[in-house]
Structure 1
Amino acid sequence: MDVLLIIDVQQGVMKATHYQQTQVLANINRAAAHVRQQQGRVIYIQHDDQLGEELEPGSSGWQLHSVLQPAKGDSRVRKTACDSFLDTELAFLLAEQPVDRLILCGSNTDFCVDTTLRSATAHGFEVLLLSDGHTTAERPHLSAAQIIEHHHWMWRHLSLPEGRSVTLLTTDELLAVTPDLQPC
């Protein structure tokens, strides 16, 4: 079974300054619909901040981005660190069924997406990253496009134990293949 993790796509995280935001949001919705159609599971990861901060639980900034299209059977996991596995119920939810592939997308490339990807490989998952399904904002030293390009290169060249892998693919490529990555 495929499991799609949608990381931190929240009102207070996804600002107008995020790189190719409109297309990324559309790709996330397309991927979620595809995974559900293939009897997979969709899990929304939401970051919790402290009281009074932008991602305070229950606040408008903490809510999922208004463009997302969650379905009734989707799950939600709350976290307080960049790693979606750290001190959360994510590993427990993933242990409830056989996970063939863990598909990642979301925001921010250089923080929570990267940390969760590395943690997922450490937990033994085959990881697929939607190369057009994650985004970030400009940083003082790098453009968002440079950050994304850098992380794509790093993820392709991670040194991982035998049997663990990270595969980057576009949303169109995900939609065009069956769960075992063989063309339809």
Structure 2
Amino acid sequence: MSNTALLVIDFQYGLIDGEPQATRGAATLAALNELIALARRCGHAVIFIQHHDADDLPRGSAGWQLHPGLARLPGDAVIEKEAADSFLNTALGQYLDTLGVENLWLGGYASDFCVDTTVRRAASLGYAVTVIADAHTSKDRPHASGATLVAHLNWLWPNLAVPGNAIRVLPLAQLHGESA
């Protein structure tokens, strides 16, 4: 196993296909599946993060399920969380430590909540973070469209002042080129 892992954050049926639907949901699913395939070819761990909320995403509900279109394998790790931060009160950090992971690729949902919080936390913990620009999505919010939020965060993350390892944002095609 390599020292890189892919985190697919909260790409759950109710969040993507529920009303209102996620921006670019089908395109993001296709990009995530291509990213998952690339990670596997490179020998990287693929880890699915699954949000639980007793009111909106109760365990076992249809909406809580990871999206059925995701290219998951039975041995893929699934880590549940109850906060926007994928590290907070979860086994994620310990699991990454046991694998010797130093680098993270990230994609998923919601760019402006759980993806953003996890990107910042991972960078603060010293991981080298690469966000795949076309493999994360959001929804329209009262003040901005989902597409605007994704574009804004793709600009913001590499411009954050993060000591040590910078946060990179790359389109999937460029990541393919680097990984060849």
Structure 2 length-normalised TM: 0.93
Give the match for residue 66 of structure 1: 68
Give the match for residue 116 of structure 1: 118
Contact 1:12 1:54 in 2 (8 A): no
Please state how far the C-alpha of 1:129 moved relative to its aligned partner.
Answer: 0.2
Q: Secondary structure at the match of 1:129?
A: strand
Equivalent AA in structure 2 for residue 174 of structure 1? L
Mapped pair 1:47 → 2:55: no
Q: Secondary structure at the match of 1:133?
A: strand
Q: How many residues align?
A: 176
Identity of aligned residues (%): 39
Tell me the alpha carbon deviations over residues 117-170 of structure 1, each in whole angstroms, 9 at most, x when there is no partner: 000001100000000000001001111111112111211210011x21111111
Q: Secondary structure at the match of 2:15?
A: coil
Please state how far the C-alpha of 1:38 moved relative to its aligned partner.
Answer: 1.3
Which deviates further from its counterpart, 13-22 or 163-172? 13-22
Give the match for residue 30 of structure 1: 34
Which structure carries more helix by proportion?
A: 2
List gaps (5 residues or longer) in structure 2. Answer: none
Give the match for residue 169 of structure 1: 170
- Structure 1 runs of 4+ off > 3 angstroms? none
Give the match for residue 145 of structure 1: 147
Structure 1 length-normalised TM: 0.92
List gaps (5 residues or longer) in structure 1. Answer: 179-183
Give the match for residue 134 of structure 1: 136
